[in-house]
């Protein structure tokens, strides 16, 4: 071991954990304890805190399931969280000690969802390299459609035409945070009809999260003559805006409601951000692509950013012994 002290998170560390997340280089509000615990009934928390000389240097948001550690099954992304002052050698030793600690406690495997590169404040590929050295198994690869807001946003001809239709249709875009009307009139019916599924977040879930993070979660709705026709639920994560839900009614394409909405979001409302994440367009373990959905996103100017998922055997911590010459 490299003299790091590893402890399992308890509520006694609530403020210490959240203060650390606020300053970490690769953290978003999804790692705040209030977000992690809103669905505590679904996941058995097994988050870890790593100390050096009584100073917290890293955390691992995680849950445990059938003797295997996941970082974290209730989140889109995860991994080891630390601040910009922690250099590669320390990251290596921290992660090695985490694996050894888990191995000694009969946890055989760790599943990691790496944080996509566009979500980090500074370069953050230390774990990506360690996955290679640890002979981790690539279990999944997802890609997101992301728009670089630091450059001019260029709509395709179709998306420009859609935005023009939206203006002619006299649509109103309002950040009213009315989740009820969007969930009940647009999102739930659409997901049920098109995919025989339901939103990941129930209406009560999203309203609870909004109450916990009022400045981080936004609901923009589009109205025609006072009736909702489309909407988008946004998570604001540092320099990036993630579109958690996008949906419009059956008239959406004819009205141009979504094109007009994203013209507003991309070119005015969030022009000061760095990236806009439109989410994935994949299904069937990310091996099939919804071509129409991807076409629409790329028409807004989005291009692809990948995210890798790994399984690491904790016994492989020994592979990190001789990395540094």
Per-residue confidence (pLDDT) for residue 286, from 0 to 100: 82
Where would I find the H helices in the chain?
A: 14-23, 33-36, 88-104, 126-133, 157-168, 179-182, 188-195, 203-212, 252-255, 257-264, 291-299
Q: Using alpha carbons, select from 59, 63, 80 the residue that is nearest to residue 17.
A: 59
Q: What's the pLDDT at 107?
A: 98
The residue length of the chain stands at 325
pLDDT tens sequence for the chain (325 residues)? 678 999 999 999 999 999 999 999 999 999 999 999 998 999 999 999 999 999 999 999 999 999 999 999 999 999 999 999 999 999 999 999 999 999 999 999 999 999 998 998 889 999 999 999 999 999 999 999 999 999 999 999 999 999 999 999 999 999 999 999 999 999 999 999 988 889 999 999 999 999 999 999 999 999 999 999 999 999 999 999 999 999 999 999 899 999 999 999 999 999 999 999 999 998 867 889 999 999 999 999 999 999 999 999 999 999 999 999 9
Paired residues of 230 in beta bridges:
222, 248
Specify the DSSP element, H or E, that contains 230: strand 227-237
Element (H, E) at 63: strand 63-65
3-state secondary structure 236-298: EECCEEEEEEEEECCCHHHHCHHHHHHHHHHHHHCCCCCEEEEEECEECCCCEECHHHHHHHH
State the pLDDT at residue 1: 65
pLDDT of residue 283: 81
The domains of the chain, with CATH numbers, are 5-141+308-320 (3.40.630.30), 151-273 (3.40.630.30)
- The predicted pLDDT at position 195 comes to 83
- Paired strand residues for 283: 288
- Return d(Cα 38, Cα 213) in angstroms, integer: 12
Q: Residue 173 forms beta bridges with which residues?
A: 222
pLDDT of residue 324: 94
Q: The whole model's pTM is what? A: 0.95
What pLDDT score was predicted for residue 278? 98
* C-beta separation of 105 from 98 below 8 A: no
């Amino acid at each position: 071991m490299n003299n790091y002290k590893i402890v399992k998170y308890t509520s006694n560390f609530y403020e210490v954990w959240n203060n650390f997340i606020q300053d970490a280089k690769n953290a978003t509000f999804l790692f705040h304890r209030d977000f992690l615990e809103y669905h505590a009934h679904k996941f058995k928390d097994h988050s870890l805190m790593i100390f050096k000389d009584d100073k917290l240097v890293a955390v691992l948001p995680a849950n445990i399931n059938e003797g295997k550690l996941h970082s974290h099954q209730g989140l889109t992304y995860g991994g080891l969280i630390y601040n910009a002052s922690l250099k590669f050698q320390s990251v290596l030793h921290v992660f090695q000690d985490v694996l050894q600690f888990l191995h000694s406690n009969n946890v055989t495997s760790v599943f990691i969802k790496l944080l996509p590169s566009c979500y980090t404040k500074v370069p953050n590929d230390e774990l990506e390299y360690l996955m290679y050295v640890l002979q981790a198994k690539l279990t999944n690869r997802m890609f997101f459609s992301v728009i670089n807001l630091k450059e001019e946003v260029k709509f395709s001809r179709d998306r420009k035409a859609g935005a023009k239709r939206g203006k002619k249709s006299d649509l109103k875009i309002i950040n009213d945070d009315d989740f009820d009307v969007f969930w009940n009139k647009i999102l739930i019916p659409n997901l049920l009809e098109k995919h025989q599924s339901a939103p990941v977040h129930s209406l009560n879930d999203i309203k609870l999260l909004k109450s916990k993070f009022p400045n981080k979660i936004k609901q923009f709705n589009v109205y025609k003559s006072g009736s909702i026709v489309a909407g988008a639920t946004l998570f604001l994560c540092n320099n990036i805006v993630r579109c958690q839900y996008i949906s419009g009614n059956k008239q959406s394409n004819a009205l141009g409601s979504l094109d007009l909405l994203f013209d507003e979001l991309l070119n005015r409302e969030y022009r000061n951000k760095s990236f806009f994440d439109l989410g994935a367009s994949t299904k069937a373990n990310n091996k099939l692509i919804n071509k129409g959905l991807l076409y629409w996103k790329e028409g807004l100017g989005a291009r692809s950013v990948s995210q890798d998922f790994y399984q690491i055997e904790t016994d492989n911590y020994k592979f990190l012994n001789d990395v540094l010459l």
